[in-house]
Amino acid sequence: DSGVTQTPKHLITATGQRVTLRCSPRSGDLSVYWYQQSLDQGLQFLIQYYNGEERAKGNILERFSAQQFPDLHSELNLSSLELGDSALYFCASSVSEGSYNSPLHFGNGTRLTVT
């Protein structure tokens, strides 16, 4: 158990809809990362937060947004969903910003299916 909790585990929704994915980081971790993993593709970095502040953006679409709350949990909002957004969405956390040798701890992901 990594200590990172993601909910829900599965989500099925229709095109054009909006969903929210939630992540609770490991206790004590201040950094949260979001990744998208499509079928037969690697991990696409979406966005990173540190202690409530956005730190880095990757290949995140304008239809997607995220935030990290004061209690350090994070939410990823996906709107105007398209079939191509169907994927596994992973959250990961890390202990601090300065510790470059600390690993990421991943949740088990949310599988999003857009029909």
Partner 1 sequence: GDSVTQMEGPVTLSEEAFLTINCTYTATGYPSLFWYVQYPGEGLQLLLKATKADDKGSNKGFEATYRKETTSFHLEKGSVQVSDSAVYFCALKKAGGYQKVTFGTGTKLQVIP
Residue 2 C-beta: closest distance to partner 1, Å: 7
Residue 45 C-beta: closest distance to partner 1, Å: 7
Pick between residue 37 and residue 65 the one whose CB is nearest to partner 1.
37
Residue 51 C-beta: closest distance to partner 1, Å: 11
Pick between residue 18 and residue 56 the one whose CB is nearest to partner 1.
56
Pick between residue 55 and residue 73 the one whose CB is nearest to partner 1.
55
Residue 80 C-beta: closest distance to partner 1, Å: 27
DSSP state string for the chain: --S-EEE-SEEEE-TT--EEEEEEPPTT--EEEEEEE-TT--EEEEEEEETTEEEEE-S--TTEEEEE-TTS-EEEEE-S--GGG-EEEEEEEES-SS-TTSPPEE---EEEEE-
Query: Where does this chain bind partner 1 (CB under 8 A)?
Result: 2, 4, 31, 33, 41-43, 45, 48, 50, 55-56, 90, 92, 94, 97-101, 103-109
Pick between residue 27 and residue 101 the one whose CB is nearest to partner 1.
101
Residue 30 main-chain phi, psi, to 5 deg: -105, -20
Per the CB < 8 A criterion, the answer to whether 43 and 91 are in contact is no
